[in-house]
Amino acid sequence: MAKIILTGDRPTGRLHVGHYVGSLKRRVELQNSGKFDKIFIMIADAQALTDNADNPEKIRQNIIEVALDYLSCGLDPAKSTMFVQSQIAELCELSFYYMNLVTVSRLQRNPTVKSEIQMRNFEASIPVGFFTYPISQAADITAFRATTVPVGEDQLPMLEQTREIVRKFNAVYGETLIEPDILLPENQACLRLPGIDGKAKMSKSLNNCIYLSDTEEEVRKKIMSMFTDPNHLRVEDPGCVDGNPVFIYLDAFSREEQFAEYLPDYQNLDELKEHYKRGGLGDVKVKKFLNAVMQEELAPIRARRKEFEKDIPEVYRMLKKGSDEAREVAAQTLRDVRAAMKINYFEDEELIRMQSEHFGG
Ligand code: ATP
Ligand code: MG
C-alpha cells in the first residue's frame, strides 16, 4: 500500500511555534526522508470559515501567510503538494455522504470540539458547519487515501472519528477507504505547546503565540515577558518546572550542545531544572537562554521567508498547481465512493441491463 501523508492548518493567522513543534517540523523531516509516496499539505480555509463565516477577509489574507510559513520551514513544492481546501469541491460531496454515518451525539462527545465550542462562546448557538467539521476533516483525510497524519495532540479525537467513519463506510458499502494512523510528536512537550501566557495551548485564536515570522526583537520581548512559576518571586525561592512554560519550551527546543555554547555552567537541561527547583536561579537567566535557543531555530526560517516574500505571484501559482493536482486525486476517490455507494447510475451498465429486463425491454 502506498504511504501517503495528509495534514494541514487553518489560515486563521500566521503559523506559530506550536504548529512548528507539533507538526510542521516533523512534516519537513518526513518529506525529506523519502519514505512517503505522496505528501499533501492542505490550507484548510473552508474549515476556518466554519467559525469565521463573518470574516472571510481574514481567511483570504492568511492563505499567503500560511503558504509563506510552509515554504520558509522547508516544505518543498517539488516533494509536497500544497493546496487550498476550498478549491477541491469533491471534499464537500464526500462530507455530505459521510454525514449519514455519524450521529449527533457522537459529534457532541468529541472533546476537542467541546472545548473549542466553549472557547468561542458557541454554547448558545453553534454553527452547523462548525459542529460537523470533524466529518469534513474525515473527507479531507480519506480523499487523499492518507495512511499517516502528523498532527498535534488536539487532533487525536478527529483521527478517531475519521477511523470510525472509514470503518463504518467500508462495512456498509464494501472496502473502499483507507484507515489513517495519527503520528504524534515523540517529544512530550511538543504534543500541545502552551501559550506564552501559560494557557494550555498556544493558539492563534488565543493571542498567546510566538509566530515563526516574528522579528528577533518581538521574539525576545515575548520570551522575556513569559509566564513562569507565579510563586517564584525571589531568585533564592525554590521554583517549579512542571507546567512552567519556559521549561516546557526548553524541553521542546533546546539541545544539549547548546548549554556549552550559551550556558556553560550547566551540562544539560536536567541540571538547570534541578537548580531552579532548589532555588537560587532567576527567571531572567533561564529566559535569556531560551531566547538564544529559539533565535537559533527561528533565524534561518525568518531569512528564508524574506526570500519567498520577494515573489508572491509565484507562491500563488504554486498553490494553484497544488490545488489542481489535489483535485484530480480527490476526484478519483469520489468516483470510487460513488461506485461503492451505487450512485454511479449512468456508468453502471449492469444496472441499466437489469432494469431493462425488469421492464421487459
Ligand atoms: P485555531 O485557533 O484557528 O484553531 P490553531 O493555532 O489551533 O488555530 P490549527 O490550524 O487548528 O492551529 O492547527 C494546525 C496544526 O498544528 C494541527 O496539527 C494542530 O494539532 C497543531 N497545533 C496547533 N497548536 C498547537 C500547539 N499549541 N502545540 C502543538 N501542536 C499544535
Ligand atoms: Mg485549532
pLDDT at residue 123, as a whole number:
80
Which residues neighbour 338 within 8 Å (Cβ) at sequence distance 6 or greater? Answer: 344
DSSP string, 61-123: HHHHHHHHHHHHHT--TTTSEEEEGGG-THHHHHHHHHGGG--HHHHHT-HHHHHHHHHTT-S
Distance 291 CA to ligand 2 centre (A): 26
The residue contributing the CA closest to ligand 1 atom 18 is: 151
Q: What confidence tens digit (pLDDT) does each residue in 248-306 have?
A: 999 999 999 999 999 999 999 999 999 999 999 999 999 999 999 999 999 999 999 99
Counting atoms of ligand 1 from 1, which one is nearest the CA of 7?
A: 18
pLDDT at residue 207, as a whole number:
84
Q: Is the CB of 14 under 6 A from ligand 1?
A: no
Distance 146 CA to ligand 2 centre (A): 20
Counting atoms of ligand 1 from 1, which one is nearest the CA of 21?
A: 29
Distance 203 CA to ligand 2 centre (A): 7
Interatomic CA distance for residues 229 and 238, integer angstroms: 10
Interatomic CA distance for residues 77 and 71, integer angstroms: 8
Give the burial string for 314-326 (b: 16+ CB within 10 Å, else e). Answer: ebeebbeebbeeb
Distance 154 CA to ligand 1 centre (A): 8
Q: Is the CB of 81 under 6 A from ligand 1?
A: no
Distance 142 CA to ligand 2 centre (A): 20
pLDDT at residue 82, as a whole number:
98
Which residues neighbour 151 within 8 Å (Cβ) at sequence distance 6 or greater? Answer: 7, 22, 23, 158, 159, 182, 183, 184
Counting atoms of ligand 1 from 1, which one is nearest the CA of 48?
A: 3
* Ligand 1 mutation target, pool 7, 15, 19, 162, most atoms within 8 A of CB: 19
The residue contributing the CA closest to ligand 1 atom 26 is: 18
User: Which residues, listed in sequence order, are joined to residue 211 by a DSSP beta bridge?
Assistant: 16
Strands (E), the chain: 4-9, 38-43, 81-84, 148-150, 181-183
**Global pTM?**
0.95
pLDDT at residue 188, as a whole number:
92
Q: Is the CB of 202 under 6 A from ligand 1?
A: yes
Interatomic CA distance for residues 328 and 305, integer angstroms: 30
Q: Is the CB of 232 under 6 A from ligand 1?
A: no
Per-residue pLDDT of the chain in tens (361 residues, 90 and over written 9): 999 999 999 999 999 999 999 999 999 999 999 999 999 999 999 999 999 999 999 999 999 999 999 999 999 999 999 999 999 999 999 999 999 999 999 999 999 999 889 888 888 889 999 999 999 999 999 999 999 999 999 999 999 999 999 999 999 999 999 999 999 999 999 999 999 999 889 988 788 999 999 999 999 999 999 999 999 989 999 999 999 999 999 999 999 999 999 999 999 999 999 999 999 999 999 999 999 999 999 999 999 999 999 999 999 999 999 999 999 999 999 999 999 999 999 999 999 999 999 998 7
Taken in order of first residue, the domains within the chain and their CATH numbers are 4-192+312-354 (3.40.50.620), 216-308 (1.10.240.10)
Cell 502506498 locates to 2
pLDDT at residue 124, as a whole number:
82
Q: Is the CB of 193 under 6 A from ligand 1?
A: yes
Counting atoms of ligand 1 from 1, which one is nearest the CA of 190?
A: 29
CB atoms within 10 A of CB 345: 10
The residue contributing the CA closest to ligand 1 atom 13 is: 9
Distance 245 CA to ligand 2 centre (A): 19
How many secondary structure helices (H) and strands (E) does the chain include? 17, 5
Q: Is the CB of 26 under 6 A from ligand 1?
A: no
Q: Which helix (H) or strand (E) holds 256?
A: none
CB atoms within 10 A of CB 182: 18
Q: Is the CB of 74 under 6 A from ligand 1?
A: no
Q: Is the CB of 203 under 6 A from ligand 1?
A: yes
Q: Is the CB of 25 under 6 A from ligand 1?
A: no
53 contacts 86 by C-beta, under 8 angstroms: no
Q: What confidence tens digit (pLDDT) does each residue in 311-321 have?
A: 999 999 999 99
Distance 203 CA to ligand 1 centre (A): 6
